[in-house]
Amino acid sequence: MYFPYLRGRQFELIAIRELVEKSLMSKNVMPVVEPVKLSSALIKTMAYFQEKDRALGLVRNPQVGSMLKDLADEKNEKDRGRFYEILKMADILTFLYADANLSANLSAMGQKGIKKQDIATICINQDSIPYLESAYASDCPRFNFIRDESGFRRRMPKQRIMFEDRYPKKSRNVEYLDSEDEHFSSDHLYYEQEGYLGFSDYSVVGNEYSESGFAPYAIAIHIIYFAADQTLRVRHFVSDTNDDITDPAGKFAEALEKLVIWNQTQQLDTFGVQTFEKMYRSRSYPGLGTVKKLSIMHHLELMSRYLDGVK
């Protein structure tokens, strides 16, 4: 089972919603959303997953963004009501970060009718292990997302999900020119024999979170693919004219041409890659949000095909 972990930004939410709309995401893939704000995109995505009877994970104590403040703001009364309404009806798995408030949060969920055995926990800080052990005692969560390190494995042997940031993030897009092709992950090959029920990562986004974006000097397209040994690699297609922030459409065209030429050999045929190739032929530029969306869609469709093939 694969649990792609995504922050609730607009284009990430659109990516998973469109995959379900197009029947391109396997039921062996359950997205986990850490909502960064109470947005119409979040509510629409939750409602669509409910409509299509698809499972979705939702972090109830997000660590970044303004979601908790948004829920407490009276100005958001209508959206808040809709959010909680869908939450009651949809097949949404509650996630909680393990911290000093875990027992109190579990108690609050219990008052809403959610048993602690039906909650997934995220324990990625060594100092949080005692909080989880204390809160669960002889019980265990539905899933426990942990780092693939001995300190976690030794003390949390049950219901484990391997949770790692596998994306080789660079501080600037232009730096990918020095490492155009990199190892991404082999978790899908070994998670079961290493005692995990599933694996999770941050797709091609990475764990780093920033409230605001910026105009990049270089534009990069990141594409996951299978190597001959079935490990996953990531190929970075980067623009060449990167001296300033002008002409993003021209930069995108440069990066896109590299992708199209490379794929003549690779022959990837996911919806995401096919859409990139259509943009190349029409010479269109969709904006950076859509570029990220298509890269995520490609990755999750690729993993869906793989998991459906081995299950």
Alpha carbon separation from 257 to 149, 238, 251, 275, 278 (Å, rounded)? 40, 10, 10, 13, 11
Nearest to 206 by CA among 63, 5, 25: 5
- Give the chain's mean pLDDT: 95
Contacts of 57 by beta carbon, 8 Å cutoff, 6+ apart: 3, 30, 31, 32, 33, 92, 93, 95, 120
**Segment 64-96, tens digit of pLDDT:** 999 999 999 999 999 999 999 999 888 999 999
Query: Which pLDDT does position 301 carry in this prediction?
Result: 98
Q: How many beta carbons lie within 10 A of that of residue 184, not counting itself? A: 22
Query: Which pLDDT does position 212 carry in this prediction?
Result: 66
List phi, psi (to 5°) of 146. Answer: -135, 160
**Segment 187-244, tens digit of pLDDT:** 999 999 999 999 999 999 999 887 766 789 999 999 999 999 999 999 999 999 999 9
Specify if 250 maps to a domain: yes
Query: Which pLDDT does position 240 carry in this prediction?
Result: 96
Helices (H), 213-287: 248-266, 271-282
Specify if 35 maps to a domain: no
Per-residue pLDDT averaged across 150-167, rounded? 94
Specify if 289 maps to a domain: yes
Structural domain range at position 299: 172-184+215-311
Specify if 180 maps to a domain: yes
Query: Which pLDDT does position 142 carry in this prediction?
Result: 97
DSSP annotation of 177: G
The total number of residues written for the chain in this structure = 311
pLDDT-derived band at 311, boundaries 50, 70, 90: very low
Query: Which pLDDT does position 43 carry in this prediction?
Result: 96
Specify if 285 maps to a domain: yes
| Distance between CA atoms of residues 105 and 115, nearest Å | 11
**Segment 238-297, tens digit of pLDDT:** 999 999 999 999 999 999 999 999 999 999 999 999 999 999 999 999 999 999 999 999
**Residue ranges of E strands in 39-159:** 56-59, 92-97, 120-123, 144-146
Alpha carbon separation from 263 to 60, 83, 176, 225, 266 (Å, rounded)? 40, 41, 18, 10, 4
Alpha carbon separation from 309 to 118, 130, 296, 305 (Å, rounded)? 28, 39, 20, 6
Specify if 191 maps to a domain: no
Specify if 300 maps to a domain: yes
Per-residue pLDDT averaged across 101-130, rounded? 96
Contacts of 127 by beta carbon, 8 Å cutoff, 6+ apart: none
pLDDT-derived band at 162, boundaries 50, 70, 90: very high
| Distance between CA atoms of residues 105 and 95, nearest Å | 11
**pTM: predicted TM-score of the whole model, two decimal places:** 0.95
**How far apart, in Å, do the first and last CA atoms of the chain sit?**
10
Nearest to 50 by CA among 24, 25, 74, 85: 85
Contacts of 213 by beta carbon, 8 Å cutoff, 6+ apart: 288
134 pLDDT more than 90 = yes
Query: Which pLDDT does position 211 carry in this prediction?
Result: 73
Specify if 5 maps to a domain: no
pLDDT-derived band at 310, boundaries 50, 70, 90: low
Count how many domains the chain has.
1
